[in-house]
């Protein structure tokens, strides 16, 4: 009898709690949905417009539900659309970006790993000062370096060339890659290095056989960070290259500026999406490693 009473009271309280819970959850998810829509809307509009026909866009406006379907815009954006006098589409610029971002990412990551290795495991007099100075690069806006780069690229004859951009991105990226790798390597116990030194391994063998095999989590982080940053970079691309040599971000601007007649919103949308695909792809493939790599130490 008593038991039943107690149970009933508890049931009532439990029911109230579960109602409150349901109510608050509903509000939370409603808010989340609203913000998700706000964030996704631009992407959604782009995707829609890249498949809509130009006359329909002109008629119903840029922001509208698609009533027509075509794949032509993508093909045109990729290979035939005219930008600034040449009619080769985005393909060349896309390849420029790829040819710039892949080597620059690899080189800056490798250099960052080596810097991090030295600054964490082979400290020397002044290495902390050096590291602090390198960190300044993280906070330095790119435009500060515009003039010096212009001077330097001119001197070595790398203006209007993808190689020039590779050089810029490698140097500009070293601060970040060094920071990532150094902070990760600090958590590798020094005893490992000592043991390896007694075992007869030198600087490079320790790097290759002990440090690098422990590095994938942080290398994935660095590669994603660098690739996305370099691919999306715009300032250096637009300043130091022109026409056929431009990376895709710079070419997109030329595309919007080259409107002689009617603006081809369908092609532009497709072109923008082409330009956004690689970083998105990298994110979808490696995103989960990104968070994991940033939060996890070297030795579990």
Decide whether 61 or 213 has the Cβ nearer to another protein. 213
Nearest approach in angstroms of CB 193 to another protein is 9
Using a 10 angstrom Cβ sphere, with 0-12 exposed, 13-18 middle and 19 or more buried, the burial of residue 52 is buried
| CB-based contact 239:152 (threshold 8 Å) | no
Nearest approach in angstroms of CB 199 to another protein is 4
Nearest approach in angstroms of CB 253 to another protein is 46
Nearest approach in angstroms of CB 120 to another protein is 16
Q: Please, what's the b/e burial string for 222-254 (b: 16 or more CB within 10 A of its CB; e: otherwise)?
A: bbbbbbbbbbbbeebbbbbbeeebbbbbbbbeb
Distance of CA 32 to the CA centre of its chain: 24
Among 10, 209, 288, 292, binds another protein (CB under 8 A): 209
Nearest approach in angstroms of CB 296 to another protein is 13
Residues numbered 249-268 forming contacts with another protein, rule: CB under 8 A: none
Residues binding another protein: what is the number (CB under 8 A)? 19
Nearest approach in angstroms of CB 233 to another protein is 34
Backbone angles phi, psi at 88, to 5 degrees: -115, 5
Nearest approach in angstroms of CB 125 to another protein is 12
Residues numbered 148-207 forming contacts with another protein, rule: CB under 8 A: 189, 191-192, 194-202, 205
- Does residue 4 touch another protein according to CB under 8 A? no
The strand pairing partners of 83, in sequence order, are: 86
Nearest approach in angstroms of CB 202 to another protein is 8
Question: What contacts 285, CB < 8 A, 6 or more positions away?
Answer: none
Decide whether 141 or 202 has the Cβ nearer to another protein. 202
Q: What is the DSSP letter of 83?
A: B
Per-residue binding letters, 88-127, with another protein (x by CB under 8 A): ----------------------------------------
Decide whether 167 or 211 has the Cβ nearer to another protein. 211
CA distance 202 to 212: 14
The strand pairing partners of 86, in sequence order, are: 83
- Among candidate residues 31, 81, 79, 36, the one with its CA nearest the CA of residue 54: 81
Among 113, 168, 210, 268, binds another protein (CB under 8 A): 210
Phi/psi-derived region of residue 263, left when phi > 0, alpha when psi is between -120 and 50, beta in every other case: beta
Decide whether 85 or 200 has the Cβ nearer to another protein. 200
Decide whether 110 or 298 has the Cβ nearer to another protein. 298
Segment near another protein (CB under 8 A); pick from 62-70, 96-104, 208-216, 253-261: 208-216
Decide whether 220 or 273 has the Cβ nearer to another protein. 220
CA distance 69 to 112: 47
- Does residue 67 touch another protein according to CB under 8 A? no
Decide whether 219 or 271 has the Cβ nearer to another protein. 219
CA distance 268 to 175: 35
Q: Please, what's the b/e burial string for 56-81 (b: 16 or more CB within 10 A of its CB; e: otherwise)?
A: bbeeeeeeeebeeebeebbebbbeeb
What does the binding site for another protein look like in residue numbers (CB under 8 A)? 189, 191-192, 194-202, 205, 209-210, 213-214, 299-300
């Amino acid at each position: 009898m008593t038991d039943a009473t107690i149970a009933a009271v508890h049931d009532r309280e439990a029911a109230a709690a579960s109602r409150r819970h349901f109510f608050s959850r509903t509000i939370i998810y409603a808010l989340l949905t609203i913000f998700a829509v706000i964030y996704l809307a631009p992407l959604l509009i782009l995707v829609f417009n890249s498949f809509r026909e130009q006359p329909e866009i002109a008629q119903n406006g840029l922001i509208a539900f698609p009533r027509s379907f075509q794949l032509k815009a993508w093909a045109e954006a990729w290979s035939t659309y005219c930008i600034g006098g040449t009619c080769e589409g985005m393909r060349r610029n896309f390849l420029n970006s790829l040819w710039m971002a892949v080597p620059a990412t690899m080189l800056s990551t490798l250099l960052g790993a080596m810097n991090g290795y030295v600054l964490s495991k082979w400290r020397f007099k002044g290495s902390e000062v050096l590291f602090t100075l390198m960190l300044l690069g993280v906070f330095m806006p790119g435009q500060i370096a515009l003039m010096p780069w212009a001077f330097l690229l001119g001197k070595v004859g790398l203006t209007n060339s993808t190689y020039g951009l590779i050089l810029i991105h490698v140097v500009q990226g070293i601060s970040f890659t060094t920071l990532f790798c150094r902070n990760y390597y600090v958590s590798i116990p020094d005893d490992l290095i000592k043991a390896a030194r007694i075992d007869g391994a030198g600087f490079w063998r320790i790097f290759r056989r002990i440090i690098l095999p422990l590095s994938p989590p942080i290398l994935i982080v660095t590669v994603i960070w660098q690739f996305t940053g370099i691919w999306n970079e715009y300032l250096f691309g637009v300043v130091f290259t022109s026409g056929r040599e431009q990376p895709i971000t710079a070419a997109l601007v030329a595309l919007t500026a080259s409107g002689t007649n009617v603006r081809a919103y369908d092609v532009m949308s497709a072109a923008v999406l082409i330009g956004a695909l690689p970083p998105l792809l990298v994110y979808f493939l490696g995103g989960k490693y990104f968070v994991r790599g940033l939060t996890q130490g070297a030795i579990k």
